[in-house]
Amino acid sequence: MAHTVEQVSIWILEAVEKEWRREPDVYKCRPASEVLGPLKAEHGITDSQIDHAIHFMCSESRQYLSIITRNDGMAIIPSDNGLVMLGRLELNRIEEREKKKWSRADKIAFGPVCIGRS
């Protein structure tokens, strides 16, 4: 299954945000290869897809990530823009769950009324 650059970007952003919450100091957090490596097996994505998504997120118009080069490799943390994007994604997920919950509740509540009128 082919994943879009947007979907891969979301997975990366979520992974670096989790690492940033674990260790906010860019000089103490784990290198990007350790943080992003598990995404390959978990989602069936490749290094090139990860690289493409990182470039997508670091574009001048987005700037969702901050990348720091260290002696042990590259460290990636979410930028303020990236944290805002994650907040929006979470709000969208909550809204979708609420819509589904209300949709199911409506069907349950109104189902017997409709059946009774038949």
Q: What is the pLDDT of residue 67?
A: 92
- For the chain, 118 residues long, give each residue's pLDDT as a single digit of tens: 689 999 999 999 999 999 999 999 989 999 999 999 999 999 999 999 999 999 999 999 999 999 999 999 999 999 999 999 999 998 988 888 888 777 665 655 555 554 544 4
Which residues, other chains included, contact 70 with Cβ-Cβ below 8 Å and sequence gap of 6+? 26, 27, 31
Dmax (CA) of the chain: 73
Would you list the domain boundaries of the chain?
5-117
The correct answer on CATH 1.20.58.340 for the domain covering 5-117 is no
